[in-house]
């Protein structure tokens, strides 16, 4: 099930990405609407991070193209914010928490302008949103994994982008913080921002995402949650991982009776 969109925010056409000449994403074709909280789901090695990297221009496709806001990436890079996977970041880089979040504001400052009070206030505001104000002066190397992740989310927020791409932003983040940040992301989408999140926990995925992309090297589905979350498509995405499927079936059943569902 692949729902195409008129005037999409993001359009991916026939995208193939290979590492060492072996394709890991095959002929991916989908478009996404603006202002939604969108989840990318799939098993380990499904190509989720590769898809995000291809959108960000960090890996070169062997075929196909990506258009964002109907433009090439280079024309809209300053409207996009990217939170990479935790492991790909050098957390020993000597910088305070506040410095890291301030870096998020640099893109809008221009080449020769130094960050001032406005940028500092914005950085503190973003730290507050992720509950990390008290750690502003700490070195990032001295934080726990979950705290570092929260700082990185604050840095992304400080970019004040229109499109956010987050690769497993909740890895190592506790449940209460995950809930608070998901609610924050929901609020951002109400302001017209689009947030795309690679996510592993199927339960919170069902709760928070409005739109779901299911990936397993090929695109299995892309559409509103209510259209794509069914046992058949989940089986195609995750294969015969029956424990997971029975858990998901249970979640779907609960959602059918959940008056709060989207």
Interface with ligand ATP by CB under 6 A: which residues?
19-20, 24, 42, 44-50
Pick 24 or 184: Cβ nearer ligand ATP? 24
Q: Give me the least distance between CB of 50 and ligand ATP, in Å please.
A: 3
Q: Give me the least distance between CB of 62 and ligand ATP, in Å please.
A: 13
Pick 54 or 163: Cβ nearer ligand ATP? 54
The three-state secondary structure class of 227 is: helix
Strands 211-216 and 218-224: antiparallel
Pick 44 or 92: Cβ nearer ligand ATP? 44
Contact 208, 202 (CB under 8 A): no
Phi and psi torsions of 76, nearest 5°: -130, 10
Q: Give me the least distance between CB of 116 and ligand ATP, in Å please.
A: 38
Q: How many Å apart are CA 9 and CA 199, to the nearest integer?
A: 21
Query: Would you state the structure tokens that stand for residue 101, as one six-digit string?
Result: 């979040």
Pick 50 or 105: Cβ nearer ligand ATP? 50
Phi and psi torsions of 217, nearest 5°: 65, -45
Pick 24 or 73: Cβ nearer ligand ATP? 24
Q: Give me the least distance between CB of 249 and ligand ATP, in Å please.
A: 22
Q: Give me the least distance between CB of 24 and ligand ATP, in Å please.
A: 4
Q: What is the DSSP letter of 113?
A: P
- The CB density around residue 260, as the number of other CB atoms within 10 Å, is 6
């Amino acid at each position: 099930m692949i729902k195409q969109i008129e005037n999409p925010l993001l359009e991916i056409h026939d995208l193939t990405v290979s590492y060492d000449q072996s394709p890991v994403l095959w002929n991916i074709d989908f478009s996404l609407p603006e202002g939604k909280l969108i989840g990318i789901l799939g098993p380990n090695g499904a190509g989720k991070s590769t898809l995000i990297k291809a959108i960000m221009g960090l890996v070169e496709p062997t075929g196909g193209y990506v258009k964002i806001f109907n433009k090439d990436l280079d024309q809209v890079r300053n409207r996009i914010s990217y939170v990479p996977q935790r492991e790909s970041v050098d957390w020993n880089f000597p910088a305070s928490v506040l410095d890291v979040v301030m870096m998020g504001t640099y893109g809008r400052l221009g080449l020769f302008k130094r960050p001032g009070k406005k940028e500092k206030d914005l950085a503190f505001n973003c730290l507050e949103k992720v509950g990390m104000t008290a750690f502003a002066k700490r070195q990032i190397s001295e934080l726990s994994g979950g705290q570092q992740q929260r700082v990185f989310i604050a840095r992304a927020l400080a970019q004040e982008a229109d499109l956010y791409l987050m690769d497993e932003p909740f890895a190592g983040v506790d449940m209460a913080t995950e809930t608070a940040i998901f609610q924050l992301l929901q609020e951002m989408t109400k302001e017209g921002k689009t947030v795309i999140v690679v996510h592993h926990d199927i339960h919170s995925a069902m709760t928070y995402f409005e739109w779901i992309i299911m990936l397993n090297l090929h695109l299995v589905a892309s559409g509103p949650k209510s259209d794509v979350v069914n046992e058949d498509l989940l089986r195609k995405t995750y294969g015969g991982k029956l424990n997971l499927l029975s858990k998901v079936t249970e979640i779907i059943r609960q959602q059918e009776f959940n008056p709060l569902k989207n």
